Amino acid sequence: MGAVDVQDVEAIRETSQALVKLDTLHGGNDLYPLALRIFRASNRQLATGDYNPTVERDLMAATGEAGEVAAWLAYDADQQDASRQIIHEALLLSRQAGDRSMELFQLSHLAMQSVQLHRAAEAYRIVGDVLGTEELAPRVGALFNIRRGRALAQMGDRMGAFDALDSACSTLDQGISPRDPYWTWWVTDPEISWHRAMAHAELGEWSVSVSLFQEAARQRTEYQRAWYNDQAHLLNALVHVRAWQDAEPVILELLNGAGAVESGRTTNLLRRVADRIARAKDVPSTVTDAAGELLARHAV
């Protein structure tokens, strides 16, 4: 192969977007290794200087974006250590390229992962370094308020958590701004509903979270991976409140979707939920049997 040129940079960007589209359908497990290979190959070309000097900045920016995609897919595959390493590498590239928009996306990823790992104070610091220090595009600001709300919920600050989530919701109500970057397409009302549900769950308010998880799933049927994850969290909430009659049809929905979506973080949640059902008392046998089948579908 010759040195990287304009067409090669464009191919990297097109591949990143193709991986994102596939992820919305199928999840990160199978896509992550491919995304990592693409990121590593592009990064290696940058490191060795195997590119036309006129495309250096664009190649760095495209590689930073490829790193964001690889880090997300690693996150969805529940490869959290790998995701953290990749996003730091990608963040450095975006910063060197002067791509502040992608850098903000990557910082939001770090905050998201900190919340996932229950490192709430870390997530709160990341968000605090961004909010209030610069004028953000509306949906970027909404995203950081979502991260802030989740961190505060984990820290037990109920009022602060829902103030932040209300602020994000208010921003979305104003519609799409010309300043909003293309990658904010997924910052939507159902996304906020899901995070509201998670905040209630983290505060121990499981019964409130049920309707919000239902709402998120109802609005995201066209995004198979997100819908499947919504259903898994809905089942988790129903099990917490011991709503067995409502849980059974959700398990059946998940069984119908099993195999089409391969998402490590969702699979690991379902394993924990199925195990909780198996250990619970006075569970209808139909629920126990369906949960056992679901667990078998997700066996390693």
Task: Quote the pLDDT of residue 36.
Answer: 98
Q: Which residues of the chain have pLDDT under 70?
A: 1-2, 299-300
Residue 3, token pair as written in the block: 């040195």
Whether the CB-CB separation of 123 and 168 falls below 8 Å is answered with no
Task: Quote the pLDDT of residue 2.
Answer: 64
Task: Quote the pLDDT of residue 191.
Answer: 96
| Separation CA 244–CA 185 (nearest Å) | 35
Task: Measure Cα distances from 220 to 24, 192, 214, 231, 263 in Å.
Answer: 10, 12, 10, 10, 16
Task: Quote the pLDDT of residue 139.
Answer: 96
Task: Quote the pLDDT of residue 133.
Answer: 80
Looking at the DSSP bridge assignments, the partners of residue 51 are: 4
